[in-house]
Amino acid sequence: MREEIILRKMRQRDPAGLDQLMNRYIPYVSAIVWNILSQAMTAEDAEEVVSDVFLAAWNQADQIRDTSVKAWLGAVARYKAKTRLRQMGKTLPLEEDVLDDRAASTPDEEMERAEERALVYQAVNSLKEPDREIFLRHYYYAQSVSQISEQMRLNESTVKTKLSRGRERLKSMLLRWGI
């Protein structure tokens, strides 16, 4: 079923729409949440966060654009997982607002955040491989240093060094651009 039909059902408060959304996106949302929370929480806690994401979709169905359902769910999943970490007194290494995909509340804020995201995207893409891949795996997909090290067949110290140097390069670049 097409996403616009699913959203229409949800906007009409038809539970079948939510069921269809969950059937389509539970693996995607679960992967995001689990990548962020796997080292800090139980599977049951992560499942609760996944449920919170779909509850938010149900409650905010009128705010989701038909063309960006997956992106919206991914952003909410990352936000809710990070929020749960903060509630537990834990954080991810990089908590910059500019990297957060939360929706802005006004068109001006939305435009400003879109411009900031474009600049951050440009800055991250300016990193050379494998630095860019390591940076994205760690900060976007919330993979741990040990996961990245194992999957990319690198020493953990190499991954940590590349993350540190990448942060410095991005910080320098973004400061020059006024972010």
- What's the mean pLDDT when you consider all of the chain? 82
The predicted model scores a pTM of: 0.54
Q: What structural domains does the chain harbor?
A: 1-92 (1.10.1740.10), 96-179 (1.10.10.10)
* pLDDT score of 169 more than 60: yes
pLDDT in tens, 25-66: 999 899 888 888 877 778 888 899 999 999 999 999 988 887
* pLDDT score of 80 more than 80: yes
Q: What is the pLDDT of residue 1?
A: 59
Higher pLDDT, 97 or 75: 75
Annotate the chain with DSSP letters as a single string.
--HHHHHHHHHTT-HHHHHHHHHHHHHHHHHHHHHHHTTTS-HHHHHHHHHHHHHHHHHTGGGS-GGGHHHHHHHHHHHHHHHHHHHTT---S---GGG--PPPSSHHHHHHHHHHHHHHHHHHHTSPTTHHHHHHHHHTS---HHHHHHHHT--HHHHHHHHHHHHHHHHHHHHHTT-
